[in-house]
Structure 1
Amino acid sequence: MKLLRYLLLPVVPIYRFVAMVRNWFFDLGVLKSKSYNFPVICIGNLSTGGTGKTPVTEYLIRLLKDDRRLATLSRGYGRSTKGFIQANSKSTAESLGDEPFQFYSKYNEDIIVAVDEKRVNGIDTLKSKNSDLDLVLLDDAFQHRYVKAGFNILLTPYDKLYVNDICLPTGNLREPISGAKRADVIIVTKCPEDLSEDLQVKIERLLSPESHQVVYFSHIDYANEVISSNTTRGLNSMNGVKFTLVTGIADPSPLVSHLKSLGLDFEHQSFKDHHKFSEDEITALKKKELVLTTEKDYMRLSPYFKDEDTLFYLPIEVKLNNKDAFEDKVKDFIKTY
């Protein structure tokens, strides 16, 4: 696969040029963006997957759900359905996609969760069905410029900064680095918890933010407990227990490193992002004594483990180094409406 990507290097300038022309057309108004009279916040990235959008979206949900009638709108990647769907008690990870279903499972009493490939139609339909709606979080929509979000949050992982990457198909960028100028906030995700101020300054210089942009740094905070459908147990209780770690996410390396740092003994079965588990794979996993997975993968796997108490997930949250300043900036934007 890596060899093929290198062989496709001559295609990179073509891809980059097409993406630049598309952005120019939006900037010049040739392609139209729709604005709204209520706050729309976009969480996205320049690269393909693995930047930490889901925990950042959940961070914003927790921050804003008590003050606003909030909806999340996602594409619903990997779902078996098409068009607009608003989550309800009959929804599943298959009908919504794993990440939207995760939002619904955790916050359904406090927020609205919807999916639609066409974000303009999604927002319009959400508003028509929910007249009290007054805030939309767009999950993974930085390149979906038909919606003009009022506030753009751009994510980039600490060990894979977009300034050190190139466009598809050889690199991982969905658009040229210049697209970062549209962001209001840049969050460097998956940082070491003890990231020094000197290194923060160095990274900020590398990113070279515009005068209107603010750069924040965040790290993943892993829970001390693992959860199944029937019970919760301490993560330290897994010491001395051989278990299977199953991941279907873009970048499992931080989780693997964390578990290894705790001295846990496990085998790792790694699948591609949003992997749809086959019947044979499910059967094999159900034979395992203990399976640990991510919360996103748990949304897809748990329906097959209803009668077994062998599947657990490890909750995570994102922690920002300068959370008060970030939260004030988000709330100040919302107050303008």
Structure 2
Amino acid sequence: MRFLLYLFSLIYSLVIWMKNLFFDLGILSSKEYSVPIICIGNITAGGTGKTPHTEYLLYLLCDKKTAVLSRGYNRKKKGLVWVDVNSKPENVGDEPLQIKQKFPDTIVVVSGNRRKGIEEILKKHPETEVILMDDGFQHRWIKAGMNILLNNYENTIYSDSLLPLGRLRESKKAISRANIIITTKCPKMTPPEKTGINNQLNIDAYQNSFFSSIIYNNWKPISTSEKISTNEKYHITLVTSVANADNLKLHLDENRHIVNHLSFPDHHNFTKTDIENILSEYYSTTSDKNIILSTEKDKVKLTNFKAKFNGIKLFFIPINIKIDREQEFNNLITDYVANHKRNR
């Protein structure tokens, strides 16, 4: 079996190499636009933290008319869709809906055709000052003015293999296309440890490397107005459909909560049967400190079943991103946007 995976990986690598070669030689062309475009992407398939880093940029650029363009992974409705706060997650994708609900004044569009997505944004909203392209690093049909590449500390680019043998979408050489590399989900690190990662990534003089970590915030209610203190110890039915919830599980364990984790595939759209199973697990514990806790991404999907959770303590845990040398990173972003203002 491993031999077959290796063989398919070689075939896949050849196809990706040819595609990138054609772009590098100009046989395939990347289109530039007059508006600043920042791409937040990865080489590893899933789990690097694109959405919280996109949200970080939205907070940073809150004084700009910003649009977010995403593919809308695992959505049922195809083509270009304008995301509304009341959109259904199965039609637009869970992460674009999360962003829209969190930043309702931000334009959010999902489109598999990124060129069409950008052109429709600029046509309908000519006042747009910057576009954030979520998960577009491999989409070379568009030439982003700034490419931010995310490298998961727990599953680094340099320790992985190409699909399907590993989780890499393309060769490690693609790191050279990035302006900024952020190693994400980091624990506390010493300067020598950071230097070691930078050496493995082969950071060049024109590139900037940063490290980010996850900050877990106070739980927020989904189906109740009740607020609870996270200083108390709870019996938690943890519901997640993310690439990897190990850090969240560890965070809850370290705070001495009793956790029963119900893990679903990444971007999973919950069914009535799923909800019944979640509730069955919840009711199997008689503790008066019994709650259901989910991620913010899962919150937008569980809200569809709000009536099912009537009278139940259902919460989600928001997160933020902390970037080392934060001001230096912020300056790189704001300077790029300021120096590439759109000519109308």
TM-score (ref. length: structure 2): 0.92
Amino acid at match of 2:5: L
The 5-angstrom pairing of residues 28-43 of structure 1 reads 28-43=25-40
Percent of aligned positions that are identical = 39
Partner of 1:319: 322
Q: CA 1:204–1:101 in 2, change beyond 3 Å: closer, same or farther?
A: same
Letter in 2 for 1:83: G
Q: Which residue of 2 aligns with 1:294?
A: 295
* Counterpart for residue 281 of structure 1: 274
Q: Name the structure 1 match of 2:84.
A: 88
Output the CA distance in 2 between the equivalents of 1:102 and 1:81: 17
Contact 2:75 2:91 in 1 (8 A): yes
Residue 234 of structure 1 and its aligned partner are, at CA, apart by 2.6
**1:308 Cα deviation (Å)?**
4.0
Gaps of at least 5 residues in structure 1 are none
In the alignment, what sits opposite 2:221? 227
Q: Return the alpha-carbon distance in structure 1 between the equivalents of residues 17 and 315 of structure 2.
A: 44
Aligned positions of 1:111-122 closer than 5 A: 111-122=106-117
1:260-279 equivalence runs, <5 A: 260-279=253-272
Query: 1:7: Cα distance to partner?
Result: 4.1
Match for 1:182: what amino acid?
R
Q: Within 5 A, what are the aligned runs for 1:101-116?
A: 101-109=97-105, 111-116=106-111
Which of 158, 161, 172 matches 2:156?
Answer: 161
Q: How big is the shift at 1:6?
A: 6.2
Residue 93 of structure 1 contacts residue 101 of structure 1 at CA under 8 Å; is this kept in 2?
Answer: yes
> C-alpha deviations, 1:3-60, integer Å up to 9, x for none?
x566411221111111111011111111121111110000000010000101100000
Is 1:173–2:168 an aligned residue pair?
yes
In 1, distance between residues paired with 2:112 and 2:126? 22
Aligned residues, how many? 329
Q: Given the alignment of the two structures, is residue 214 of structure 1 paired with residue 208 of structure 2, yes or no?
A: yes
Equivalent residue, structure 2, for 1:182: 177
Instruction: Please state if 1:125 is matched with 2:120.
Output: yes
Is the CA contact 2:224–2:311 (under 8 Å) kept in the aligned structure 1?
A: no
2:276 aligned counterpart, secondary structure:
helix
**Alignment gaps of 5+ in structure 2:** 284-290
TM-fit CA distance, 1:256: 1.0
Q: Deviation string for 1:78-107 (max 9, x for gaps)?
A: 112111111225412122100000011111
Distance 1:75 1:41 in 2: 15
56-65 or 197-206: bigger deviation:
197-206
Residue 218 of structure 1 aligns to which amino acid in structure 2?
S
**Aligned residue for 2:45?**
48
Partner in structure 1 of residue 66 of structure 2: 70
Aligned Cα RMSD in Å?
Answer: 1.4
2:331 to 328, 333, 336: 328
Residues 246-282 of structure 1, C-alpha deviations (whole Å, 9 max, x = no match): 1110011111111111111011111110112222111
After TM superposition, give the deviation of residue 75 of structure 1 in Å: 0.4
- Determine helix, strand or coil for the equivalent of 1:218: strand
1:174-233 deviation line (CA, Å, top 9, x unaligned): 0001111110000000000x2111211111111111221111001000013343243332
Task: Determine if contact 1:5/1:169 at 8 Å carries over to the other structure.
Answer: no
Cross-structure match for 1:61: 58
